């Protein structure tokens, strides 16, 4: 898949509307909201540095969470501060994303200035994919650089809508996600095992059905009891020999897989040449429910050193990886959740389609 590359764009001195992937949760620390995880911000630094090297004015667009109107706990102000610290450059923050104040601030920008706008989802028009709202978001900018892979499966005004009004190019982070994940679609080394877990296992059932066609084995953990009906229905649709769904006796209080099932999962993973992992196998934050996730992580981390290919996807999964092992032991780490699963399931992501050179 070939995307419209930022390297081919004439951006010298231009005002760039940078669609970032900064949908990152915050937490209160000493009375101040701070971002919980800097991973997505860190992933965008190469793109932003390239834009600064080309004397661009950078206007940053993102949403955070699912606010119902204006919600100070979901402001992008903490994200601006975190980016400023990581980039080593001043990032100005504006408490709106459209309107005369925004327009005036963009006009007043100098080359290499960075301005982060407020949460686009403070306006319902974003989720409604309003054309008027999308066009307004592009006011004052010359070109769009799109790096929001985790949101690329959404048809929203601040994702796909804005692309109808300005030339759009893929940032380096988006390019890395697409090229890294494509390795799970082309010439996959086999056996290929997928490990699914997490608290919201119900949201992954459709992807399990689609990924059954490309994988050799699917191992399920996480909050299985919440998805018994959906998983039972899934098993009737696919090759039941290719999926292991824990029974109630395979679970410890519903919060971890049993030592026996853990051993079975580890054995399957160790025989695999390719592994994709999305979601912890249990409530690993608590010691008594951490064994399943810990042992599976250790097994997955051997794949790369044994000449295989491993991919870890999603914030909760990366957090579990960080607790028990090192990111260096994984071939590729995707910072997206739903978008990654849809991409691997062969679904077309609206924003990625618009970035393809065949468009």
Whether a cis peptide bond, with omega within 30° of 0, leads into 199 is: no
pLDDT confidence band for 328 (50 / 70 / 90) = very high
Q: Among 48-57, 78-87, 121-130, 224-233, where is mean pLDDT lowest?
A: 224-233
Distance of alpha carbon 282 from the chain centroid: 21
DSSP secondary structure of 229-281? HHHHHHHHHS-GGGEE---GGGBSTTSSB-HHHHHHHHHHHHT-SEEEEES-S
Q: Which domains does the chain have, with CATH numbers?
A: 6-173 (3.40.50.1260), 183-344 (3.40.50.1260)
Percent of the chain having pLDDT more than 70?
Answer: 99
Mean pLDDT (whole number) for 69-78: 95
Q: With 80 as the cut, is the pLDDT of residue 81 above it?
A: yes
Residue 222: how many CB atoms within 10 A of its CB? 28
Q: With 60 as the cut, is the pLDDT of residue 224 above it?
A: yes
Task: Give the three-state DSSP class for 29.
Answer: strand
Q: Residue 358: its pLDDT value, please?
A: 65
Please tell me which of 110-119, 184-193, 223-232 the model is most confident about, judged by mean pLDDT.
110-119
- Whole-angstrom CA distances from 204 to 12, 48, 92, 261 are 42, 33, 38, 21
Per-position b or e across 170-189, b if 16+ CB within 10 A of its CB: bbbbbbbbbebbeebeeebe
Q: In sequence order, what are the residues at sequence separation of 6 or more whose Cβ sits closer than 8 angstroms to the Cβ of residue 236?
A: none
* CB 196 within 8 Å of CB 208: yes
CA atoms of 347 and 343, how far apart (whole Å): 5
* CB 11 within 8 Å of CB 51: yes
Dihedral (CA of 342, 348, 350, 355) sign: positive
Q: Residue 197: its pLDDT value, please?
A: 94
* CB 19 within 8 Å of CB 146: yes
Mean pLDDT (whole number) for 24-35: 92
Q: Residue 275: its pLDDT value, please?
A: 97
User: In the predicted model, what is the mean pLDDT of the chain?
Assistant: 95
Q: Tens digits of per-residue pLDDT, 2-22?
A: 999 999 999 999 999 999 999
pTM of the model: 0.92
CA atoms of 235 and 228, how far apart (whole Å): 11
Q: Tens digits of per-residue pLDDT, 193-214?
A: 999 999 888 888 888 888 888 8
Q: With 60 as the cut, is the pLDDT of residue 359 above it?
A: no
DSSP secondary structure of 205-235? HHHHHHHTTT-SEEEE-SSGGGGHHHHHHHH
- Element spanning 144, H or E: strand 143-146
pLDDT confidence band for 254 (50 / 70 / 90) = very high
Give φ, ψ of 344 to 5 degrees: -70, -25
Q: What is the DSSP letter of 5?
A: B
């Amino acid at each position: 898949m070939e995307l419209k590359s930022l390297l081919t764009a004439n951006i010298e001195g231009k005002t760039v509307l940078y669609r970032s992937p900064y949908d990152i949760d915050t937490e209160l620390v000493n009375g101040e909201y701070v971002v919980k995880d800097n991973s997505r911000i860190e992933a965008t630094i190469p793109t932003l540095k390239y834009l600064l090297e080309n004397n661009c004015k950078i206007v940053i667009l993102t949403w955070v969470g699912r606010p119902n109107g204006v919600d100070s706990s979901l402001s992008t102000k903490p994200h601006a501060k975190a980016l400023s610290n990581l980039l080593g450059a001043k990032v100005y923050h504006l408490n709106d994303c459209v309107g005369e104040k925004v327009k005036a601030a963009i006009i007043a920008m100098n080359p290499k200035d960075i301005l982060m706008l407020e949460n686009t989802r403070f306006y319902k028009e974003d989720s409604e994919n309003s054309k008027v709202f999308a066009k307004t978001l592009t006011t004052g900018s010359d070109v769009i650089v799109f790096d929001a892979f985790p949101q690329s499966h959404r048809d929203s005004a601040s994702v796909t809508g804005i692309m109808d009004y300005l030339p759009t190019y893929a940032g380096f982070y988006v390019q890395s996600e697409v090229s890294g994940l494509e390795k799970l679609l082309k010439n996959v080394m086999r056996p290929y095992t997928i490990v699914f877990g997490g608290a919201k296992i119900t949201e992954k059932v459709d992807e399990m059905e689609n990924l059954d066609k490309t994988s050799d084995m699917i191992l399920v953990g996480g909050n299985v009891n919440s998805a018994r009906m959906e998983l039972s229905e899934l098993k009737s649709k696919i090759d039941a020999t290719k999926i292991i769904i824990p029974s109630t006796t395979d679970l410890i209080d519903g919060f971890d897989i049993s030592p026996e099932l853990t051993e079975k999962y580890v054995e399957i993973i160790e025989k695999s040449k390719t592994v994709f992992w999305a979601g912890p196998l249990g409530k690993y934050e608590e010691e008594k429910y951490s064994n399943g996730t810990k042992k599976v992580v250790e097994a997955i981390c051997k794949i790369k050193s044994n000449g295989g290919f491993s991919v870890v996807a999603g914030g909760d999964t990366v957090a579990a990886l960080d607790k028990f092992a090192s990111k260096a032991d994984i071939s590729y780490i995707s910072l997206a959740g739903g978008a990654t699963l849809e991409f691997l399931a062969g679904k077309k992501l609206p924003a990625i389609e618009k970035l393809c050179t065949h468009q």
